[in-house]
Structure 1
């Protein structure tokens, strides 16, 4: 290798001897021996490092063979200082500065080339395999190539003559020169194919066919200082000062220049000419300009643009994907102030966001030129050279054409706007800084709802929309607005992040992000740009997101409390209908206004609306505090309300949980726990296994296969067909009070023209409305509406109470017809001794239309507990049928008897209808007849209030005997079904006209016909804790009061007679006698009067000094 270099050097010397300087700019004196650039720089004691680097980079042949060149040679101190400032601080850092300077600094490069080659061969031989050896060789070649690139930035392909250095009477004494550095992002294939020279530089690169540029400031000027400056930046700052020349072994050329101002010679500087060029010693290492991206990052006026570029990697079209690798780039970059003037905070927030790349492309691309007239770079002099006749150059960019002029050196006008900074060199182009953005007319950055979302802290929501392939449908594709109107409910990034945090807390392990949790059925956009197929409707994420989109524009003034907004979520579970979302408006917000929404004034789906909505094109965007969840199934929704727990238990007891969850488009009218409790014994019966079918019918009767939202219910009555098969009547009053009741007609249960078929006194009122579910909606009601065809008898109520003795005794005694809820036959009445008091079933059946007697007689049975019967001598009653009948009749209260009731039952009868769930109207001191009343004097029962809600029942007017035999406390109760007289099937689906007589003033229906004698039309059962024993008073109870009265009267008469006789006899003895006053008596009387006077005076005059008056 050393021989080759020697031959090249000799050849170079021979060629150099033939070179001559031409032109008036040639120096007045060339070195006597006509040295070459290499020998000239080698003659300096201050350039040993530079010479060694020339050798290691294999640049010596280049300098030997070049015809004319200018070599900027940094001194040894310059290289040492640069290496110390830039070298990596750690051996572990395998990234080399400028591609060649490692952590060892310059020492590894100051080794002679032969020794370096031998060391490399030794490393290759010691490599573990061939691939490792090749890697080491390639790494060494790359480092040498990078060093050569750095060296070439110090070389011009022409010579600067003294006239080029002399100060000029121009606006600037700074020239722009072209170096031999053709920047590349990687080493080209080397060597060039024969007959190419191995040392020849590439003639194309990131700057096209142009070498990198370098600023040279003339000495003796304000720009260059005393000796001149090389490599200043666009502002004339920095650069390397020309060396003072101290250290060259031989005297150099005449390098003094006339100072036009002071008219004296300057001191010699380190500038010397050789036969093939010029060597300029410099006191700093020249650093090639970095890439455009790096230049932007370091420029203070482009910090905002740098921030935007850092958020997008790679860049979106039409920009090149990698800004630092794009060739021959001319960038008209907007300054920080330009962005601030063009965009507000929201728009800048969009650009700065994770999805602002599209906006960045639209903002930057109008000033981005990828090659001027081919592969040229748009330096300022480029536009001057290419200036057409009309004085301006046009260049085509992504958004149209740019009109560019350069009226003077170092100035550029783009579309009439002067550039603030011109010619910021970069490795792959040039940057000109403009004070404003180059935007087309009518430019709108946020030209879709998606971009508004991205600018307002809803990037996660947009990400989810894109993941579900819903973005283009609802928030617009980039650059286009949606054609349809939508209202978007967008949760903020914090809301989604908080949800993910809670999910991760509750579900350990794995990825629980929103995308991963909702990945089922998702199709994300592929990288090749092809459009993916739309997701299936069953996609969980798609369903979740559609629940946040409302068709049409909904302004704040149109939002009302209780409103149900339709969403874009359409599911098979709703029969294809749109799912709804709740709206709640605070009372403090003025209705019908578009005023700013304050915190807490409006919530949608339970999420608070944050600030006022933003309108984007045809869409309105509300930002909300949390992610909305589509409604759950019926049971999951109901379980969140503790007042509906009994319904849930009943559903599972009836085995309807699957159908309840799966019924599509269904409305459920669910009674609250209190409503089920009001059924009392009826509910206990329905929960028995034997009543499972009746429970199912009752539950199905509370659901309709139709979506009934209260906001859409019209005033008046609406007939709805239930899943059970019967109808139910929904009524809305003018004040929007909603009730639900049984219809007036039911097949086989004709209640006449105005009464509900199930005989309930009051309709069920809505107490909770519009609880949305996956399959429909739930409304909570305050009463259970029993279907008219669910027959609840006294026997069933007793079975629900789990008391058996009373029912067995009634059947044994012949009163089973009361339990069965039917009319007795004549034989049955005669058997129990009620013939003439209770009507037997007529033959033939008579139909009449009297409202007061539509229902058959009913009975309320007071059922003592089995425990109470355990305290009774049942053997006596089981062997004495008459005693048993009296006992049982005393516990049965009829709704009517065919006899005149006793005065007590009439005067103390109930005034109000029974309360919900009770078969009787229980009031304090109310009296009811029993079946024992017609045949027994003590056959009536009286009730007294006891405690908060309890009552004590006893035999009316019964005296004496045991209290336990005459009184009992009431317990659970239940109503039996009403038994209508008529059974007609006509018009069962319609609603009859309400009779005028059945209406109260104000239009309310009178429920008077629904109860009779204080009892509901169906009667029922009341549990009591003691057995009431018929009261049969003894001789004393019957006549004792009369004997006692006679005795007392006789004694009083006798006492009066004795008293009169004593008075009469005393007066009789004193008749005819007169009293005689004696002397002594008069004196005694006088003394008494004197004493009384003295005593009165002593009491009226107080004593003085505690002494009597006599003192």
Structure 2
């Protein structure tokens, strides 16, 4: 393609039969003046007066006179008038240029001079060597002139001792000077040649500008817009200051071979090093500038980067390794520029890492943090596959001081690792509730990777990234996929999970459990124990446990039992929701030492059963996957009690503030009830079949004994036993004498020691010796516990001693079950008065007899009246009738 394009103007020129020579240079109107110099020619032609003045100002008259055979391309007065520098010199004779005396003007005039005459048979498109030798400007510019005239050009400078080149060609039957390789542009030859004794003068329509440095050349070429756009000041300095530089620069279309984001990266301010490398792969700095006339028939050149360019000239085109030469020989003051149609980058030579993409995509602060924590291996390896969750500079800029860890700290390192996910997690692979592993390896997880929760609205099918969250951070824009890396831009940094207690602390619904943990010595154990799953109940679970049980566990004297209960809620392994919800029944070890059993119902409900507690103790499991530094947190509906915690009647009575009642039970010889043990074998209680029975004790609080003489009560053991017996309800046992009372079978509401239905009746220990020993429960909106309890059948006391309000209760974990119900009044055994027991029945009986007698008396009177009255009519007198 290149050769076709390059030689097409030559063919055109050949077809014109050298019309340039015939019509312009050797026009009949031109005259040949002998024994005159070029200066004489300029002096004799009014079109060249301005040029002559400039030659005199530059002190080049001796130089031109000394030249034996030369060609001067002479701008006319009109051409010079349009040139800013030359016209300003003519208009202001006092103008001082910022170099040695008229050096800039002198070099430009040399660019209009050839050190030989153009022969009459000149080629249609010919490259000529001028007398202009470009050189690097001196900083600061010298104000001293050359030593003495005549000032002859010295072969030296930035082209390796070669002068600057100039093309002369024709198009449309006109001659032009300073054209490109395709004979475009240039200054038109407007005056035919005038031959002098020491050369030839050709009048041209424009002043010829010497080629600028290569950086300026690049900026002026329309097909190099992309390369010019990515030039950095450092690269421009290199292009301006390097002598004998040969460039093979790809045109804009060639850069499209790179990916969209690769081009974005190259246009960023962070791509200087890579741009330098790309430039060095296309640049040759050797002795001598490599113009295209040195390519034939083939040549190998070594680039600055060390790669080899194989240049071969074919009849139809010229190839530069894998590229085609599109336009050769664009001249510069310090070298030459050749345009090619593709990049000369060996495969794998340009390593565009994730770091470079992050920098180009406005994530420089994120990258800076990565460098400060020495995690650059995460973004500099092109072979590794990662999904990066990147907060942009705009996101990080709005964070206040203290919202992020200190740069370079271990906490910052943890945070950054939490933003990298191994593998490419496209939106198609993600679903809501999914836990994906990050590169953050936690000691608290036994060295395993910390996970990150994914949230996505799976009902939204279009542009799924819009509905995607990682760890609560929203994805802000479409993810960028580059090589092995996928980048999501998120709305905020994702903070890695903290320890279990700190994670749950802001959740107010769990405050009682956290307070309980912090009140014991196991806070650090739960906080730091590696690879654990914390099953945490809400505040309402303490009420559902039974207030007496809660009050006992939270009492300062119950720390060991409380610690065991709390540790029973810590699994000694990390179990996310999937592991807990799959399967029908599984057993997991707890930090307390005993196991928890997880079972799944047919309807999908998951229950957790304790190792101890009371029969049927269960809690509904709500898997929440609240991530912590050491594992995960799930929610339980209720508190679980392990087998290491033995809740006895005595412990619950202490919680009920029933120390007086405890003393009464002890003095009554029923202390075995407090411990949950069987009665002595030789005791009446054992003989009555209470050996394996559980007991529910109605416990009046200490304030209920204010009106009683305790000394008197303690002194009468028989009465004391009856009082205590009135408060003791035996639970179902092997004794046939006891009425079975089934417990509530609701696993989430079985914390009651008794079923407290409305008007339910229970026998007490007193029931065997008294018809008034039974107790009856009734619902009451006025009672704190929702119930009142009284002695069944008691009457005549206006509820002063035989009815009490139920305040709270608690269930024991001892064999046989049982518990304590706190009431606000002491029950005294009910003994009805003589009048209540005998008088009233007699009165009722007498009244009944009288009522019966009166009834029958009235009946008899009515009967007698009925029998004495006539029941027929007298016969009529028939005679009278007749």
TM-score bucket of the superposed structures, by smaller chain? 0.7 to 0.9
Question: Helix, strand or coil for the counterpart of 2:94?
Answer: coil
**2:833 is equivalent to residue 918 of structure 1:** no
In 1, the alpha carbon distance for the partners of 2:766 and 2:41 equals 142
**2:181 is equivalent to residue 345 of structure 1:** no
Post-superposition offset of 1:152 = 0.6
Task: Report the CA distance shift for 1:223/1:655 in structure 2 as closer, same or farther (over 3 A).
Answer: farther
Aligned with 1:929 (options 763, 770, 781): 763
Structure 2 partner of 1:329: 245
**2:407 is equivalent to residue 500 of structure 1:** no
Task: Report the CA distance shift for 1:1046/1:771 in structure 2 as closer, same or farther (over 3 A).
Answer: same
In 2, the alpha carbon distance for the partners of 1:730 and 1:199 equals 105
In 1, the alpha carbon distance for the partners of 2:101 and 2:437 equals 66
Aligned with 2:565 (options 671, 691, 698): 698
In 2, the alpha carbon distance for the partners of 1:898 and 1:964 equals 36
Post-superposition offset of 1:926 = 1.9
**Which structure has more strand as a fraction of its residues?**
2
In 2, the alpha carbon distance for the partners of 1:1025 and 1:761 equals 30
In 1, the alpha carbon distance for the partners of 2:351 and 2:99 equals 50
Structure 2 partner of 1:434: 340
Question: Helix, strand or coil for the counterpart of 1:46?
Answer: helix
**2:291 is equivalent to residue 379 of structure 1:** yes
Post-superposition offset of 1:646 = 2.0
Structure 2 partner of 1:155: 110
Question: Helix, strand or coil for the counterpart of 2:239?
Answer: coil
Task: Report the CA distance shift for 1:689/1:51 in structure 2 as closer, same or farther (over 3 A).
Answer: farther
Post-superposition offset of 1:194 = 13
In 1, the alpha carbon distance for the partners of 2:478 and 2:429 equals 14
Matches for 1:299-698 after TM superposition, within 5 Å: 299-310=221-232, 314=234, 322-340=238-256, 342-353=257-268, 368-371=282-285, 374-383=286-295, 387-388=296-297, 392-397=298-303, 399-405=307-313, 413-414=319-320, 419-438=325-344, 465=370, 468-472=373-377, 474=378, 477=381, 481-482=383-384, 486=385, 488-492=386-390, 495-497=391-393, 499-504=395-400, 507=402, 517=405, 519-520=407-408, 539-551=410-422, 563-583=434-454, 588=459, 598-599=464-465, 604-606=470-472, 619=484, 621=486, 623=488, 625=490, 627-679=493-545, 680-698=547-565
Aligned with 2:813 (options 977, 999, 1013): 977
In 2, the alpha carbon distance for the partners of 1:923 and 1:62 equals 128
Task: Answer yes or no: is the 8 Å Cα contact 1:675–1:784 preserved in 2.
Answer: yes
Structure 1 partner of 2:165: 213
Post-superposition offset of 1:463 = 6.0
In 1, the alpha carbon distance for the partners of 2:858 and 2:426 equals 105
**2:872 is equivalent to residue 1054 of structure 1:** no
Task: Report the CA distance shift for 1:36/1:943 in structure 2 as closer, same or farther (over 3 A).
Answer: farther
Post-superposition offset of 1:707 = 3.6
- Residues 941-980 of structure 1: per-residue CA shift (max 9 Å, x gap): 222234598222222233332135333332332233325x
In 2, the alpha carbon distance for the partners of 1:645 and 1:232 equals 86
Question: Helix, strand or coil for the counterpart of 1:937?
Answer: coil
Task: Answer yes or no: is the 8 Å Cα contact 2:590–2:596 preserved in 1.
Answer: no
In 2, the alpha carbon distance for the partners of 1:157 and 1:241 equals 13
Task: Answer yes or no: is the 8 Å Cα contact 2:248–2:340 preserved in 1.
Answer: yes
Question: Helix, strand or coil for the counterpart of 1:153?
Answer: helix
In 2, the alpha carbon distance for the partners of 1:108 and 1:662 equals 88
Post-superposition offset of 1:653 = 0.9
In 2, the alpha carbon distance for the partners of 1:635 and 1:943 equals 42
Structure 2 partner of 1:184: 136
In 2, the alpha carbon distance for the partners of 1:236 and 1:34 equals 28
Task: Answer yes or no: is the 8 Å Cα contact 1:190–1:198 preserved in 2.
Answer: no
Question: Helix, strand or coil for the counterpart of 1:789?
Answer: coil
Structure 1 partner of 2:58: 54
Task: Answer yes or no: is the 8 Å Cα contact 2:42–2:52 preserved in 1.
Answer: no
Structure 1 partner of 2:642: 787
Matches for 1:203-242 after TM superposition, within 5 Å: 203-216=155-168, 222=172, 230-231=177-178
Task: Report the CA distance shift for 1:597/1:39 in structure 2 as closer, same or farther (over 3 A).
Answer: closer
In 2, the alpha carbon distance for the partners of 1:810 and 1:147 equals 124
Task: Answer yes or no: is the 8 Å Cα contact 2:38–2:196 preserved in 1.
Answer: yes
For structure 1, the 5+ residue unaligned runs are 1-23, 87-104, 117-139, 245-254, 258-271, 522-538, 590-594, 743-755, 841-855, 980-1011, 1078-1111
Matches for 1:629-1028 after TM superposition, within 5 Å: 629-679=495-545, 680-709=547-576, 711-712=578-579, 715=583, 721-724=589-592, 726-731=593-598, 733=600, 739-742=607-610, 756-802=611-657, 804-807=659-662, 809-811=664-666, 815-823=670-678, 836-837=687-688, 856-870=692-706, 877=713, 885-895=721-731, 901=737, 905=739, 912=745, 915-947=749-781, 950-979=786-815, 1017=817, 1019-1028=818-827
Task: Answer yes or no: is the 8 Å Cα contact 1:150–1:287 preserved in 2.
Answer: no
Question: Helix, strand or coil for the counterpart of 1:683?
Answer: helix
Task: Report the CA distance shift for 1:191/1:601 in structure 2 as closer, same or farther (over 3 A).
Answer: closer
Task: Report the CA distance shift for 1:866/1:667 in structure 2 as closer, same or farther (over 3 A).
Answer: same
Task: Report the CA distance shift for 1:273/1:601 in structure 2 as closer, same or farther (over 3 A).
Answer: same
Aligned with 1:111 (options 94, 107, 120): 94
Task: Answer yes or no: is the 8 Å Cα contact 1:37–1:278 preserved in 2.
Answer: no
Q: CA RMSD in A?
A: 5.0
Structure 1 partner of 2:99: 144
In 2, the alpha carbon distance for the partners of 1:633 and 1:911 equals 38
Question: Helix, strand or coil for the counterpart of 2:215?
Answer: helix
Aligned with 1:293 (options 199, 215, 222): 215
Task: Report the CA distance shift for 1:85/1:46 in structure 2 as closer, same or farther (over 3 A).
Answer: closer
In 1, the alpha carbon distance for the partners of 2:309 and 2:455 equals 53
In 1, the alpha carbon distance for the partners of 2:215 and 2:38 equals 45
Structure 1 partner of 2:6: none
Task: Report the CA distance shift for 1:498/1:773 in structure 2 as closer, same or farther (over 3 A).
Answer: farther
In 1, the alpha carbon distance for the partners of 2:572 and 2:172 equals 93
In 2, the alpha carbon distance for the partners of 1:424 and 1:1076 equals 169
Matches for 1:89-108 after TM superposition, within 5 Å: none
Task: Answer yes or no: is the 8 Å Cα contact 2:325–2:340 preserved in 1.
Answer: yes
In 2, the alpha carbon distance for the partners of 1:223 and 1:403 equals 34
Point out the more displaced range, 580-589 or 188-197: 188-197
Task: Answer yes or no: is the 8 Å Cα contact 1:919–1:974 preserved in 2.
Answer: yes
In 2, the alpha carbon distance for the partners of 1:78 and 1:1076 equals 177
Structure 2 partner of 1:750: none
**2:873 is equivalent to residue 1073 of structure 1:** yes
TM-score scaled by length of structure 2? 0.79
In 2, the alpha carbon distance for the partners of 1:824 and 1:175 equals 126
Question: Helix, strand or coil for the counterpart of 1:154?
Answer: helix
Task: Answer yes or no: is the 8 Å Cα contact 1:458–1:490 preserved in 2.
Answer: no
Task: Answer yes or no: is the 8 Å Cα contact 1:919–1:975 preserved in 2.
Answer: yes
Task: Answer yes or no: is the 8 Å Cα contact 1:927–1:941 preserved in 2.
Answer: yes
Post-superposition offset of 1:148 = 2.0
